[in-house]
Amino acid sequence: MSTGPLEKLSSNKTFGGELTKYKFKSAALGGLIAKFNLFLPANAATGKVPLLVYLAGLECNEDTGAQKGGFIGPAAKEGIAILFPDTSPRGAGIPGEDDDWDFGTGAGFYLNATNPKFAHHYNMHTHVTLELPEVIQDAGLPIDLKRQSIFGHSMGGHGSLTLYLSSPSKQYRSASAFAPISNPINAPWGKKAFSGYLQQGVEEAKQKYDATELISKHKDPVHILVDYGTGDKFYQTGQLLPEIFLKAAREAGHDEVQVRVREQEGYDHSYYFISTFGEDHVHFHANFLKA
Amino acid sequence: MSTGPLEKLSSNKTFGGELTKYKFKSAALGGLIAKFNLFLPANAATGKVPLLVYLAGLECNEDTGAQKGGFIGPAAKEGIAILFPDTSPRGAGIPGEDDDWDFGTGAGFYLNATNPKFAHHYNMHTHVTLELPEVIQDAGLPIDLKRQSIFGHSMGGHGSLTLYLSSPSKQYRSASAFAPISNPINAPWGKKAFSGYLQQGVEEAKQKYDATELISKHKDPVHILVDYGTGDKFYQTGQLLPEIFLKAAREAGHDEVQVRVREQEGYDHSYYFISTFGEDHVHFHANFLKA
């Protein structure tokens, strides 16, 4: 099944640039309609611009980061595009996919499912890493795909770190995350997702979809920034485990220049936390995207 | 009926300060539960801070501006608090109040209703100008109520301009608005609202609730900033009429230092427009709030 043509759903001028919502028939997601938002800064009118990919968390969609993250203003100043994908396929019609808020719809976990029940539709990994860049290129949008970085929140922070660390082609120059699920094979959210989506469950995830496992085996230098808040109830209840990720990074020889994990006193899991540090993350990526 | 005690519903650390959602039993709104958000910057821990009031538009609530406006970061830097009231009473149970998106629930128009059907509950004017300041003061929150300014969007821009221009006590030092309904007695939204809420309808509104009428009779110097976008479909269809407001201001002797109305090429009615100029509006008010 091939990817269908892009259709523009809406367009909003913002910070001198343009945020456009598109839809297309997604081959990666089994022929379902996929939506995404793309912010192009004003300078995209005169040449290709680098791309920052934002992966949102559980229950979110392609609008959440665009509306609440506070990323677009800083990206406009830096002359960087931002791609906001959705968080899962929508409307696959698989029994049970809408029963829980942390599994199925809105909870794609940025993996490719191997459980036959989900394998036809739940392929957000391919959707984000291969299909969306292809769609953007085919549409002639002014993006320089050789300059990509990635960031995300919670489940999307997990996505950001794992897509960055597992890309053999080094697709992304840098990765950052707000309150990422940093060691999902040891966290309830991750165990549930992997058990459902993957034929071999957590064992299979260990090889491909766990940021802590990946950083511990990663030899090349990395550029990673993580922020989490001590007031985050999901941090407090062991869903995020950023210290485990940090420990693994240090043990693998990645120093504080390569991997910065910052504990932010009193901040929680919400976009009020994310927006506080959003500008900082955009600047972090700009260092590499504009190098 | 008296106002009930404040109850804290949630609290989020953001930009070094704290956004807190409260609820209380509102006398102005006929004994219904009213909610609001209050952002206190970090410096409120050591002394009273000035207050900027944000009035949201149709269908919005106390969360909309806090989540999407991009105001909190700039306010935190300036050391200014922001109050985000709701846009109407909720759950009054008046027949028809939930039938339309532009009248009734979510559409209080920042007036005091005189039509007996609505007069017990729809008193957002009193709620914003008198009751909320009283509630804030009684709770001992660190706000300097002698330093208030006001801004808003669309219906809330109408609210901002009319509350500013009609306050005999000069409650607000400055007013600004994004895409305000600037001459509602001549616009479909305003005519509908005034006919419903006010016993004498549009004629009654002319005296109290029309920014263009008010500025034309206003003698004292004012501090007003208005932004609207040429891509705004509500501007294009005559709901906003900012040029009429501007013309009336000039004819009444208010020059471009007192009343600035800026046409923003290509921007629409959304928070993508508002957030673009949000920082600018906060800085505008800071000039007066910190003077």
| Residue B124 in domain | yes
Tokens found for residue A274: 């994310």
Specify whether B2 is catalytic.
no
Q: ipTM value, please give it.
A: 0.94
Task: Say yes or no for a CB contact (<8 Å) between B275 and A19.
Answer: no
Residues on chain A touching B229 (C-beta within 8 angstroms): 13
Taking the model in full, what pTM does it have?
0.96
Specify whether B102 is catalytic.
no
Residues on chain B touching A271 (C-beta within 8 angstroms): 67
The DSSP annotation for B136-179 comes to HHHTT-SEEEEEEEEEEETHHHHHHHHHHHH-TT---S-EEEES
Report the alpha-carbon distance of residue B151 to residue B156 in Å, rounded.
7
Task: Say yes or no for a CB contact (<8 Å) between B70 and A67.
Answer: no
A4 pLDDT higher than 80: no
CATH of the domain at A212: 3.40.50.1820
Residue with tokens 């994990």: A261
| Residue A77 in domain | yes
pLDDT value, residue B2: 67
Tokens found for residue A100: 């829980």
The number of distinct structural domains making up chain B is 1
Report the alpha-carbon distance of residue B80 to residue B147 in Å, rounded.
10
| Residue B1 in domain | no
Task: Say yes or no for a CB contact (<8 Å) between A16 and B276.
Answer: yes
CB B240 within 8 A of CB B234: yes
Report the alpha-carbon distance of residue B141 to residue A116 in Å, rounded.
57
Residue of B127, B232, B254, B268 marked active site: B232
| Residue B2 in domain | no
Residues on chain B touching A273 (C-beta within 8 angstroms): 12-14
Range of the domain at B182: 7-289
In tens, the pLDDT along A136-191 reads 999 999 999 999 999 999 999 999 999 999 998 999 999 999 999 999 999 999 99
**Which amino acid, one-letter code, is at B80?**
I
Closest Cβ–Cβ partner in A12, A70, A267 for B272:
A12
Task: Say yes or no for a CB contact (<8 Å) between A70 and B67.
Answer: no
Task: Say yes or no for a CB contact (<8 Å) between B13 and A229.
Answer: yes
Specify whether A232 is catalytic.
yes
B64 pLDDT higher than 60: yes
Report the alpha-carbon distance of residue A20 to residue A84 in Å, rounded.
10
pLDDT value, residue B211: 98
* Most B-contacting residue of A267, A272, A279, A282 (CB-CB within 10 A), to test interface: A272
Q: Strand, helix or coil at B101?
A: coil
In tens, the pLDDT along B215-225 reads 999 999 999 99
pLDDT value, residue B1: 54
